[in-house]
Amino acid sequence: MNFIILDLSLLAIFLISISILLYKNKKNLVQDGPLYLYKAQWGINLIKNVGKKYSNFLKKISYVSMGVGYVLMAGIVFLILQTVYLYLTTPIARAIKAPPIMPLIPYFPKLFGLSSMFPPFYFIYFILALIIVATVHEFSHGIFAKAFGIRIKTTGFAFFKYFPALFGAFVEQDEKQMNKQSRFAKMSVISAGVFANVLTGFLFFGLLILTFSLSFSASGVVFDTYSYSAVKISNISSVNGISIADSNYDNILDLLEENKTNNVSIGDVNYLTTIEFFEKQKEYNGSAILYHDSPALNAGLYGAIHKIDGEIINNRDTLKKILNEKNIGDVITITSIDDDKKEIETEIVLGEHPEEEGRTWIGIGFMEKNTEGFRGKIYSFFSSFKDSSIYYTPDYEVSYFIYHLLWWIVLINFAVALFNMLPVGILDGGMFFYLTLEGLTKSEKFSKKAFSFMNWFFLLLFVTLMVRWVFIFF
């Protein structure tokens, strides 16, 4: 809470400072609808110097820039189509109450109940990330334009006049000169912004890894499930002590009680479940997932396991070693850390592993992360520098602030690069798509119709997602 107050105070200082700056430089301001355009001559000079000096190099890497543009366009189209398909067909996706199209605004993880999926997103993160993302994006458009001899008319920043914390950069080029350029030059300039965002994203990702390795230490183990087994429903013999002659899904469901953990037995082996969890498994073809009657579940253990009887646990091997040194029936004290970074002590009586006689057991599990498919590969790459089953603590007070700031800069750079290559409207991807079609078909009429179709098609997809989300609440 203290940092939230500090964050809002810094936001107030930023707004006041920007307001004073804009007022003192009224002669450099131009109103454009709801925006104030602040023109800066130093931006033009910098673009001219870099664009002229490295023009040959920039023209050569235009091939890479355009290639990245096509990869991003294919990626964003695939992600949107897959998202629509999953959201309309997968119950788990619909169970998330957050809207499928979320605005990237400060505090959105808290606003939409996504704090477990995203780190905190404060105004200070938003402002700093926006400065970096917008500046490199527009600056790159400018230097590539200058490399191809296109005049830069103005540069600067655009501020939303009702709330100056919402801002962006702009580079205005001479449209007449732009239109006279070859298709290759036009596409090079268009793809330059997202290309720069991708490079910036990788640069800050490297800084993120370096920061993490130098300022965080392993100090706990994170488990994400209790021990469970898949069983045949027909083998279930009793529920809450009541014997079942004909075991089927409906009969078992009728015996389960709401708002409690139910006992489900198969012979002498006891399992645990809730009616809510069991209801979700109706389509499992005669099978069900049931939790073992484990010490951890019975004790309500949660959070990251930080210590056992005062001894620090820094990885799964240490956890396994300490438990193997204990005896079945021993009472241990587990110190865990919850989501609010508070320590919780839980006493647990060690049980015997259901499948390994004589081995001590608390009954926690570690689910393998899905690395299949496009999304899985992306997740695997960007999380490869740390073990998801380990809880890390910062070595310095400022470590979390720097780590989360770098994390958001990386995410927003890649998000902007992807979204900007969506082949619609005024986004970079729209004109890039149009010029590509025009080059392939040599038909301006066909290209315009295809461009219009893509605009309406993706608009329909977005409307479909939002309508489906609204109906979740009914």
67-84 per-position pLDDT tens digit: 999 999 999 999 999 888
Residue 45, CB-side half-sphere exposure with 13 Å CA sphere: 3
DSSP secondary structure code for residue 164 in this structure: T
- The top-scoring range by mean pLDDT among 106-110, 181-185, 369-373 is 181-185
Per-residue pLDDT reduced to its tens digit, 41-60: 778 889 999 999 999 999 99
As a whole number, the mean pLDDT across the chain is 89
CATH topology of domain 298-365: Pdz3 Domain (2.30.42)
Percent above pLDDT 90 for the chain: 55
Q: What is the rounded CA–CA span in Å between residue 384 and residue 164?
A: 37
User: Are the C-beta atoms of 222 and 389 separated by less than 8 Å?
Assistant: yes
Whole-number Å distance between alpha carbons of 253 and 264: 11
Residues of the chain with CATH 2.30.42.10: 298-365
Q: What is the pLDDT of residues 205-221, one digit of tens each?
A: 999 999 999 999 999 99
Least confident of 61-65, 159-163, 297-301: 159-163
Which pLDDT score, from 0 to 100, does residue 245 have?
82
Alpha helices in 305-398 (DSSP H): 316-324, 373-382
Buried b (16+ CB within 10 A) or exposed e, 99-122: ebeeeeebebbeebeeeeebebbb
Average pLDDT over residues 437-444: 94
Around Cβ 289, how many Cβ atoms within 10 Å?
Answer: 16
Those residues with Cβ within 8 angstroms of residue 82's Cβ, 6 or more apart along the chain or in another chain? 374, 375
pLDDT for position 86: 83
Angstrom distances, CA of residue 37 to CA of 25, 33, 144, 163? 11, 10, 22, 14
| Number of neighbouring beta carbons within 10 Å of residue 201 | 22
DSSP string, 358-403: T-EE--EE-PPP---HHHHHHHHHHTTTS-TTEEEEESSTTHHHHH
Confidence of residue 184 (pLDDT cuts 50, 70, 90): very high
Q: What are the structure tokens assigned to 109, written together? A: 């993880």
Indicate whether 148 pLDDT > 90. Answer: yes
The average pLDDT across 389-406 equals: 92
In angstroms, what CA-CA distances link 263 with 232, 240, 299, 462?
16, 5, 15, 44
Average pLDDT for 217-246: 90
Pairing of β 331-337 and β 343-349 = antiparallel
Contact between 221 and 319 under an 8 Å Cβ cutoff? The reply is: yes
What is the three-class DSSP state of 432? helix
Smallest Cα–Cα separation from 49: which of 134, 206, 155? 155
Checking if the pLDDT of 95 tops 70, the result is no
User: At residue 247, does pLDDT exceed 60?
Assistant: yes
Q: Which amino acid is at 4?
A: I
Alpha-carbon torsion angle 244, 250, 256, 257, nearest 10: -140
pLDDT of res. 435 = 96
The single-letter DSSP state of residue 27 is G
Average pLDDT over residues 179-195: 95
C-alpha angle 326-329-334 in degrees, rounded to nearest 5:
60
Answer yes or no: pTM beyond 0.75: yes
* Residue 244: count of CB within 10 angstroms of its CB: 18
> Rounded to an integer, what distance in angstroms lies between the CA atom of residue 240 and that of residue 290?
14
- C-alpha Rg value of the chain to the nearest Å: 28
| Residue 128, burial from CB neighbour count under 10 angstroms (0-12, 13-18, 19+) | middle
To the nearest whole percent, how much of the chain has pLDDT over 70?
A: 96
